[in-house]
Amino acid sequence: MKRFLLLLICGLVACSLGTAHAGQACEEKQSSVASFVSSMKLAENTLAALEASDAQVALIARVGQDLSRQGLRYSHMAYVWRDHPKGRWLVVHELNECGTAQSALYDEGLGNFFFDVFAHEAAILIPSPQSQAKIVAMLASPAARTLHWPRYNMLAYAFSTQYQNSNQWVLETYAASASDMVISDRTRAQQWLKLAGYAPVTVHVPTAQRLGARMFRANVEFDDHPFGRRAAGQIDTVTVESVMRFVKKNDPAAREMMVK
């Protein structure tokens, strides 16, 4: 156990150098010892849960920031999968680069994924074995990168390809794995999601907040949303909760668990 924790801490320090966290600006932040230990414990407990599940891939979510005012709990979703059978677990996800309007795809360890979170809690969704096999094949194919769009928007409209947020990448790549037809671009992924009944979450953002966000945050835009709904402050975006709800509807055998 001590050896595992040491390796986990070393991996965290190594991975955290130069790595962006979704929706955060690049600024020096002092993390308390207690928070660091809690992050490592959450990573350890999550690893134990994944090992016990006998899964090869899962969807994982963290509470990176406080979204309670929007009625949401989890802020960011990723895939976590073994890089080979019985090998190490890797988190694969899209991250906003230092609060800019750009994003990139990253592979990292569980320790780094849970570093500096708002609450030390994780949600894990384990698809059925059949769905897992399709997701693994998708992650190992060019589709994972083909469906990534670097123009980042934290509140990207769910059915527009103008921008993409981190949870949207997970959703659209899931569509590529679940669809019977070949999905090679985001337009087809979104068309399939509409037909399959995906419903985004509507976040209420008043006019004053929209103007302030556009002026002071490079990673927030609203011009991809339909004008009428945008004017009414109704922002339809891809959230962790909406992705989990859709995956469970599409894959009734999927299992959800919470880890602390």
Q: Per CATH, is 2-259 categorized as 3.90.1720.10? A: yes
Q: How far apart are alpha carbons 49 and 259 in whole angstroms?
A: 8
pLDDT value for 218: 78
Confidence of residue 27 (pLDDT cuts 50, 70, 90): low
Over residues 180-199, mean pLDDT = 96
For the chain, what are the domain ranges? 2-259
Confidence of residue 6 (pLDDT cuts 50, 70, 90): very low
Over residues 226-237, mean pLDDT = 94
pLDDT tens digits, 77-129: 999 999 776 788 999 999 998 889 999 999 999 999 999 899 999 999 999 99
Over residues 61-72, mean pLDDT = 93
| pTM assigned to the model | 0.88
CA separation (Å) from 55 to 59, 132, 135, 250?
Answer: 11, 8, 12, 18
